[in-house]
C-alpha cells in the first residue's frame, strides 16, 4: 500500500542544513495499522507529511496505492490526496461550521451533490458515534468528540489510507483509549490502512500491528509490535517499552532491595502470548530447591496477544540458580539477570 524508497528531507536554517528524514526505506501493507514512534525532533512528523506531499521530498520516492506521489502535481496530486485522509493533534476544525458541515467540507470541494453529501455525512456521524450532534459547533464539543469529527471528515472521500499526526496527544487517557478503539473499529470495518505517529508507547501497544522507532531522522528499529516488546534491540526502544511494561516504581523498589544482601539474583522475565498464562514460577519451585520471590509484574495486551514483564528474586545454591535460569529460558521466556552474578 505504501512504499518509501531512500526517502530524505532536508531543511535550510540559519544554523545550516538540517536533515529531518534521512534516507528511509519502509513498506506498509494494506489494512495494516503501522505506528511510528520517536521523541520530539526525531523526524516523525516530517515523515508523515511526506506521505501526502504536504512536504516535498529532497530525494527518494513515495508510492501510495500504486501511485508515485513524486510525479504528481496540480489536479493529479489533489486526486491522489483524496485517497489519503489525515487527522491532527489539535483537530483543525472549522469553528464557524457545525459538525455536519465540517464533515461535508471535503465533499463540497469535490463537488458532490447536496443530497449525496447529506447521506454520506449521516453515515459518517453514525460510524464515529456522534449521533445527535450534527448541528453542534466545535466549541460545544469535548476533545474526544472534536477528534471524532476530525476522523469523520478525514473519511469523507472513502480514502484508502488514514494518517494520524499525534492524534491523541491532546486527550486524557480515557478519551485516548476511546479514540484508539474507534480507529481499530474503522480499520476492521473499512480495511483501512492507518499510519500513526506518536511519542506514547501505550498507543503503539494498544492498536498497532507493526512499529518503526525513529531517531535523528532514521529508523533505528522496526518490526511486529509483539517482537519489539519482547526483544527491543536499541536503548531508545527499551525506554519506550518500559513506558507500558514496568510500573513507575519498579526501578526504585528493586534498587532499594539491592541493599539486602539476602536478595540473591534478581531476574527480569519477559514473555508473550500463551506463555503469560503458564504457571512457570510454580514449575520452577517444584523442580529446583530455590526460593523465588515476586517483586513486580505487569501484563499488557497488544493487537497480537499479551506481553508480560516479571521481576523476581531467586536465592539458593548458585549452581541450582544457574539451572533454574537455563530451565526458564528453555520455556521460551526471556531472562535478564539485573542483579547478582
Contact in structure between 121 and 103 (CB atoms under 8 Å): yes
Rounded distance, CA 265 to CA 91, Å? 50
Q: Are 41 and 127 in the same domain?
A: yes
Rounded distance, CA 288 to CA 170, Å? 51
Hey, how many other C-beta atoms are within 10 angstroms of the C-beta on 58? 16
Contact in structure between 197 and 48 (CB atoms under 8 Å): yes
Rounded distance, CA 9 to CA 60, Å? 9
Burial pattern 276-291, b for ≥16 Cβ within 10 A else e, equals beeebeeebeeebebe
- Which pLDDT score, from 0 to 100, does residue 89 have? 87
Q: Are 135 and 112 in the same domain?
A: yes
Q: Are 196 and 122 in the same domain?
A: yes
Q: Are 66 and 156 in the same domain?
A: yes
| Total tally of structural domains belonging to the chain | 2
Q: What is the pLDDT along the chain (341 residues), one digit of tens a residue?
A: 899 999 999 998 888 899 999 999 999 999 999 999 999 889 999 999 999 999 999 999 999 988 899 988 888 998 888 899 999 888 899 999 999 999 999 999 989 999 999 999 999 999 999 999 999 999 999 999 999 999 999 999 999 999 999 999 889 999 999 999 999 999 999 999 999 999 988 899 899 999 999 999 999 999 999 888 878 888 888 888 877 766 555 555 565 555 555 667 888 888 776 555 567 888 888 889 999 888 877 777 677 667 777 888 899 898 999 999 999 888 888 888 887 76
Q: Are 135 and 229 in the same domain?
A: yes
Q: Annotate 140-154 with DSSP letters as a single string.
A: GS-HHHHHHHHHHHH
Rounded distance, CA 208 to CA 210, Å? 6
Q: Are 62 and 124 in the same domain?
A: yes
Residue 265, φ and ψ in degrees, nearest 5:
-95, 135
- Check which CATH number belongs to the domain holding 255 and give it: 3.30.70.260
Question: Kindly report the CA angle at 135 between 132 and 138, in degrees rounded to 5?
Answer: 105
- Check which CATH number belongs to the domain holding 59 and give it: 3.40.50.300
Contact in structure between 85 and 158 (CB atoms under 8 Å): no
- Which pLDDT score, from 0 to 100, does residue 285 have? 87
Place of cell 534498587: 255
Q: Are 233 and 261 in the same domain?
A: no
Place of cell 494520524: 164
Please give the model's pTM, rounded to 2 decimal places.
Answer: 0.81
Q: 274: alpha, beta or left, given left = phi > 0 and alpha = psi -120 to 50?
A: alpha
End-to-end CA distance of the chain: 49
- Which pLDDT score, from 0 to 100, does residue 259 have? 56
Q: Are 46 and 183 in the same domain?
A: yes
Return the DSSP state at 261.
G
Rounded distance, CA 47 to CA 9, Å? 8
Contact in structure between 276 and 307 (CB atoms under 8 Å): yes
Residue finishing a domain among 205, 227, 243: 243
Q: Annotate 204-239 with DSSP letters as a single string.
A: HHHH-SEEEEEETTEEEEEEEHHHHHHS--SHHHHH
Q: Are 195 and 55 in the same domain?
A: yes
Q: Are 261 and 298 in the same domain?
A: yes
Q: Are 280 and 235 in the same domain?
A: no
| Residue span of the structural domain in which 133 resides | 2-243
Residue finishing a domain among 195, 221, 243: 243
Supply 57's cell numbers: 521530498
Residue finishing a domain among 243, 267, 288: 243
Q: Are 216 and 299 in the same domain?
A: no
Amino acid at each position: 500500500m505504501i512504499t518509501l524508497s531512500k526517502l530524505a528531507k532536508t531543511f535550510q536554517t540559519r544554523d545550516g542544513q538540517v536533515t529531518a528524514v534521512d534516507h528511509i526505506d519502509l513498506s506498509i501493507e494494506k489494512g495494516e495499522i503501522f505506528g511510528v514512534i520517536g521523541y520530539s525532533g526525531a523526524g516523525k512528523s516530517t515523515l508523515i507529511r511526506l506521505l501526502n506531499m504536504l512536504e516535498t521530498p529532497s530525494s527518494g520516492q513515495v508510492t501510495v496505492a500504486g501511485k508515485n506521489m513524486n510525479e504528481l502535481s496540480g489536479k493529479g496530486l489533489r486526486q491522489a490526496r483524496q485517497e489519503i485522509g489525515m487527522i491532527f493533534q489539535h483537530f483543525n476544525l472549522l469553528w464557524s461550521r457545525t459538525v455536519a458541515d465540517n464533515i461535508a467540507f471535503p465533499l463540497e470541494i469535490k463537488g458532490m451533490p447536496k443530497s449525496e453529501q447529506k447521506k454520506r455525512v449521516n453515515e459518517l456521524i453514525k460510524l464515529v458515534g456522534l449521533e445527535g450532534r450534527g448541528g453542534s459547533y466545535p466549541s460545544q464539543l469535548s476533545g474526544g468528540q472534536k477528534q471524532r469529527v476530525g476522523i469523520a471528515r478525514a473519511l469523507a472521500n472513502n480514502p484508502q489510507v488514514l494518517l494520524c499526526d499525534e492524534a491523541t496527544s491532546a486527550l486524557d487517557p480515557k478519551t485516548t483509549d476511546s479514540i484508539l478503539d474507534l480507529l481499530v473499529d474503522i480499520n476492521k470495518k473499512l480495511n483501512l490502512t492507518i499510519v500513526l505517529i506518536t511519542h506514547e508507547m501505550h498507543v503503539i501497544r494498544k492498536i498497532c500491528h507493526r512499529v518503526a522507532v525513529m531517531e535523528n531522522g532514521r529508523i533505528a528499529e522496526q518490526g511486529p509490535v509483539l517482537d519489539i516488546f519482547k526483544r527491543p534491540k536499541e536503548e531508545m526502544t527499551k525506554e519506550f517499552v518500559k513506558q507500558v511494561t514496568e510500573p513507575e516504581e519498579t526501578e526504585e523498589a528493586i534498587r532499594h532491595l539491592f541493599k539486602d544482601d539476602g536478595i540473591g539474583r534478581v531476574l527480569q522475565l519477559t514473555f508473550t502470548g500463551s506463555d503469560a498464562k503458564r504457571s512457570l514460577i510454580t514449575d520452577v519451585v517444584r523442580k529446583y530447591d530455590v526460593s523465588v520471590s515476586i517483586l513486580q509484574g505487569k501484563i499488557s495486551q497488544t493487537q497480537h496477544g499479551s506481553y508480560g514483564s516479571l521481576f523476581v528474586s531467586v536465592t539458593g545454591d548458585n549452581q541450582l540458580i544457574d539451572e533454574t535460569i537455563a530451565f526458564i529460558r528453555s520455556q521460551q521466556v526471556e531472562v535478564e539477570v539485573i542483579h547478582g552474578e
